[in-house]
């Protein structure tokens, strides 16, 4: 699968291979979430806005129930968890609902 996805939309991760490919280059924001998680639902519009507004940012959504192995490998202990990757390396991690401005500051620092 190519990393050329529909512009402006988060990519819902469908395999560990896809996750590895999409986090291997560029600036990537990974949103670890679950359908039953209230704070995750509160954060979702912010994550979607970032995907639509920030050029050069790939946004991935990882359902922790469907991909427990990915979440465990990433050390995710609480959700929502946001993980930033810069050229394949984890660069930043935030847990809990975040303000859009705080996320934009992290993105600016990493770009």
Alpha carbon of residue 14 to chain centroid: 14
In eight-state DSSP terms, residue 92 is: E
Residue 69: CB atoms within 10 A of its CB come to: 9
Active site residue 37: yes
41 CB-contact burial (10 Å; exposed 0-12 / middle 13-18 / buried 19+): middle
Active site residue 40: yes
Candidate list 34, 37, 86, 104, residue with the active-site label: 37
Residue 26: CB atoms within 10 A of its CB come to: 15
Alpha carbon of residue 79 to chain centroid: 12
Candidate list 11, 22, 29, 40, residue with the active-site label: 40
Q: Which residues are catalytic?
A: 37, 40
């Amino acid at each position: 699968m190519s990393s050329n996805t529909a512009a402006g939309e988060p990519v819902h991760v469908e395999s560990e291979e896809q996750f590895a490919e999409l986090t291997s280059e560029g600036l990537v924001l990974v949103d670890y979430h679950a359908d039953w998680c209230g704070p995750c639902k509160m954060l979702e519009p912010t994550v979607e806005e970032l995907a639509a507004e920030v050029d050069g940012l790939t946004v991935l959504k990882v359902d922790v129930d469907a991909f427990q192995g990915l979440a465990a490998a990433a050390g995710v202990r609480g959700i929502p968890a946001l993980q930033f990757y810069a050229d394949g390396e984890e660069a930043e991690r935030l847990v809990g609902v975040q303000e859009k401005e705080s996320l934009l500051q992290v993105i600016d620092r990493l770009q």
